[in-house]
Amino acid sequence: MEDRIEKILKDANVPFEFIPLPEDLPVDVPSHMKFYRDTMQHALATMIYKTEKGFIAVSRRGDTKVNSKKLREFLGIKRLSLATEEEMTGLGLTPGLVPPLGLEIPLYVDKKVIEADYFYDGTGHKLFGLKMGVKDLLGVNKAIVGDFTTYEERYTKKRVLSGITPSGNTLHLGNYAGAVKPQFDLLEKGVESFYFVADLHALTTIQDRNRLEMCIINNVFDYIALGLDPEKGIYFRQSGVAEHSMLAIVLANYIPFGLTNRMHAFKDKLARGVSKEKINMGLFNYPILMAADILLYKPGGVPVGEDQRQHVEFARETARSFNKAHGEIFPIPDPLIEKGNMSKVVGTDGERKMSKSLGNVVTIFDEEEVIRRQIMGSYTDPNRKHASDPGKVDGNPVFIYHDIVNDDKAEVEDLKRRYREGKVGDVEVKESLFKAHMRKFAEARRKRKELENNIDMAREILEKGAEKARKVAEETIKEVYKIVGITNKLNS
Ligand code: TYM
């Protein structure tokens, strides 16, 4: 079979690649796409069906599923069932390895396939995969294009994306509990994840290239030390994918001034007495760029802390506005926000959310002495004067931090009980918190020290991640540019 495919493609004189596959690679599409390090959007799956008019082949994109009602209507048939293994063998085909050309039965291709520009599929041989352009394929196999699939929720809904603004060696318990940990948990569950260092966003406050670079690299060290596997998650630097900026410029035209004017980041600055005349446009436009960051990858969810909810809402509004003008281009992403205290971890001042700019943080990677001071200086229950007074645990910063870092749950419960009963002093609670912090992050802190000399590795991780991210970003920009009627070199 594969020899025939190769001959057809060579005779047609179109570019294609036969990709050698490992012998133990399971014969299923997700395993293949994982091996290619690409998304289901670029998988083509070709299936054989039996109908009252005979056998047919149907090619669909990996992130879609055939809607049998739509397909029956499209073909004007009543009976439709997948061919059995025996029937496939009878046609000279191997189940799971059907190529999208060279077949002797009619072939139908779903229209979502032509939204991608290239795809991977089988060659008929277990040890070779095929990669080629969609247009080239349709030129060769003369398939009939129809509309008979729907998106498979699993793949559209499950992609997630999030960003973090690089601001130095200051990852704190708020970032960790509200964003980093939930993000890593999603990755562990196998959710396709895009995480980036939002360096373009950092320009609103950092205008010193050396500092910016240091902040970006530090962010990589933090993430890797905490356990991000860059082979599993797509981790990159925002400016490494120019499409973020390209999309922001287009989307700005779908966002009313009034909506942007009501956003927190901008309003907070005004509230702090900074004159409107002086606020830089980067800050004002911040939500527009963030909407572009999100929509570019069409994620189903955006795991962030509560403080970013308004920005995700803004992105949803932007998507709706664009879709209203041009059809369903952008899925509406859900904010994925932790419940309760973790959604907005309170700072050591016991009042405002933990935030580097407010100086009320407990950091993860600072020197031991710095972390000890942060913890010892934290507010607890302001109404409690003596260790023998019954204290309040709910909303008490040190107990929230215990919940984040102390894996010895029995100890936490015991401290909480004694605190309520007035049987433990603040100092003991804080001492055990400090110890728990050191235990929890011992491995990460050790690893970070080890990584610190390896700036080249950090750069390489970001560059490799950007390469993968670009594949998705380019698709969206092509689609959007085409729809709105502008062009660039990418899609000329
Ligand atoms: P940033 O860098 O301020 O924060 C990174 C993440 O940490 C969360 N976070 C918190 N969660 C709970 N309690 C806290 N005290 C706390 N402090 C911070 C934030 O909610 C965030 O999830 N604008 C974003 C970066 C960004 C982005 C994006 C995020 C740029 N583009 C696209 C998502 C999608 C920011 O400055 O986060």
Which tokens sit at 109?
Answer: 């291709």
Q: Are residues 20 and 50 in the same domain?
A: yes
The answer to whether residue 477 is domain-embedded is no
Q: What tens digit of pLDDT does each residue of 134-166 get?
A: 999 999 988 999 999 987 665 555 799 999 999
How much distance in Å is there from the Cα of 37 to the middle of ligand 1? 27
Residue 344 CA: nearest ligand 1 atom is: 13
Buried residues in 477-488 as b, exposed as e (16+ CB within 10 A): bbbbbeeeeeee
How much distance in Å is there from the Cα of 254 to the middle of ligand 1? 24
SS3 category, 132 = strand
Which tokens sit at 216?
Answer: 């970006």
The one catalytic residue among 65, 111, 126, 353: 353
d(CA 306, CA 343): 5
The length of the chain is 492
Q: Are residues 99 and 189 in the same domain?
A: no
Q: Which of 115, 133, 152 is the last residue of a domain?
A: 152
Global pTM reads 0.71
Q: Are strands 301-303 and 234-237 parallel, antiparallel or unpaired?
A: unpaired
Eight-class DSSP state of 490: G
The one catalytic residue among 158, 269, 416, 430: 269
- State the pLDDT at residue 153: 60
How much distance in Å is there from the Cα of 307 to the middle of ligand 1? 7
d(CA 22, CA 34): 12
Ligand 1 close to Cβ of residue 170 (< 6 A): no
- 236, 307, 313, 353, best to mutate for ligand 1 pocket (most atoms within 8 Å of CB): 307
Active-site residue 356, yes or no?
Answer: yes
Q: Cβ contacts of residue 402 below 8 Å, gap of 6+?
A: 412, 415, 429, 432, 433, 436
Contact 146, 74 (CB under 8 A): yes
| Domain CATH number, residue 21 | 3.90.960.10
Q: Which of 344, 377, 409 is the last residue of a domain?
A: 344
Residue appearing with tokens 């998507």: 319
CA torsion sign for 64, 66, 70, 76 is positive
Q: Are residues 178 and 324 in the same domain?
A: yes
Ligand 1 close to Cβ of residue 335 (< 6 A): no
CA distances (Å), origin 328, targets 69, 298, 332, 333, 462: 22, 11, 10, 13, 31
How much distance in Å is there from the Cα of 168 to the middle of ligand 1? 14
The answer to whether residue 331 is domain-embedded is yes
Residue with CA closest to ligand 1 atom 20: 305
d(CA 55, CA 6): 24
Residue with CA closest to ligand 1 atom 36: 165
Ligand 1 close to Cβ of residue 175 (< 6 A): yes
Task: Count structural domains, the chain.
Answer: 3
Q: Are residues 104 and 42 in the same domain?
A: yes
Q: For residue 102, which of 52, 142, 146 has the smallest C-alpha distance?
A: 142
CA distances (Å), origin 252, targets 99, 267, 300, 317, 429: 43, 19, 22, 12, 50
Active-site residue 269, yes or no?
Answer: yes
CA torsion sign for 129, 134, 135, 140 is positive
The answer to whether residue 351 is domain-embedded is no
- State the pLDDT at residue 422: 96
Q: Which of 440, 458, 484 is the last residue of a domain?
A: 440
Q: Are residues 113 and 217 in the same domain?
A: no
Residue 305 CA: nearest ligand 1 atom is: 20
- 160, 162, 164, 194, best to mutate for ligand 1 pocket (most atoms within 8 Å of CB): 164
- Residue 262 φ/ψ, nearest 5 degrees: -95, 5
Q: What tens digit of pLDDT does each residue of 395-429 get?
A: 999 999 999 999 999 999 999 999 999 999 999 99
Contact 216, 237 (CB under 8 A): yes
d(CA 122, CA 103): 13
Residue 346 CA: nearest ligand 1 atom is: 15
- State the pLDDT at residue 368: 97
How much distance in Å is there from the Cα of 221 to the middle of ligand 1? 18
d(CA 484, CA 449): 49
- 204, 308, 338, 404, best to mutate for ligand 1 pocket (most atoms within 8 Å of CB): 308
Q: Are residues 189 and 119 in the same domain?
A: no
d(CA 400, CA 380): 10
Ligand 1 close to Cβ of residue 178 (< 6 A): yes
Q: What is the domain extent for residue 76?
A: 2-152
Ligand 1 close to Cβ of residue 165 (< 6 A): yes
Which stretches within 158-295 are classed as H helix? 173-175, 181-188, 199-202, 209-226, 243-251, 257-261, 264-271, 281-295
SS3 category, 444 = helix
How much distance in Å is there from the Cα of 369 to the middle of ligand 1? 26
| Domain CATH number, residue 428 | 1.10.240.10
d(CA 15, CA 228): 37
Q: Are residues 204 and 325 in the same domain?
A: yes
Q: Are residues 275 and 136 in the same domain?
A: no
For every one of its 492 residues, what pLDDT tens digit does the chain have, with 9 covering 90 and above?
A: 788 899 999 999 999 999 999 988 888 888 888 888 777 889 999 999 999 999 999 999 988 889 999 999 999 999 999 999 889 989 989 888 899 999 999 999 999 998 888 999 999 888 999 999 999 999 998 899 999 998 766 555 579 999 999 987 679 999 999 999 999 988 887 889 999 999 999 999 899 999 999 999 999 999 999 999 999 999 999 999 999 999 999 999 999 999 999 998 888 878 888 888 888 999 999 999 999 999 999 999 999 999 999 999 999 999 999 999 998 899 999 999 998 999 999 999 999 999 988 899 999 999 999 999 999 999 999 999 898 999 999 999 999 999 999 999 999 999 999 999 999 999 999 999 999 999 999 999 999 999 998 999 999 999 999 999 999 999 999 999 999 999 876 554
The answer to whether residue 320 is domain-embedded is yes
The answer to whether residue 489 is domain-embedded is no
CA torsion sign for 409, 415, 419, 421 is positive
The answer to whether residue 470 is domain-embedded is no
Q: Are residues 296 and 172 in the same domain?
A: yes
Q: Are residues 177 and 325 in the same domain?
A: yes
Active-site residue 69, yes or no?
Answer: no
The one catalytic residue among 50, 111, 232, 356: 356
Q: Are residues 338 and 382 in the same domain?
A: no
The answer to whether residue 53 is domain-embedded is yes
| Domain CATH number, residue 214 | 3.40.50.620
The answer to whether residue 326 is domain-embedded is yes
Q: Are residues 146 and 180 in the same domain?
A: no
- Residue 220 φ/ψ, nearest 5 degrees: -65, -45
Residue with CA closest to ligand 1 atom 16: 174
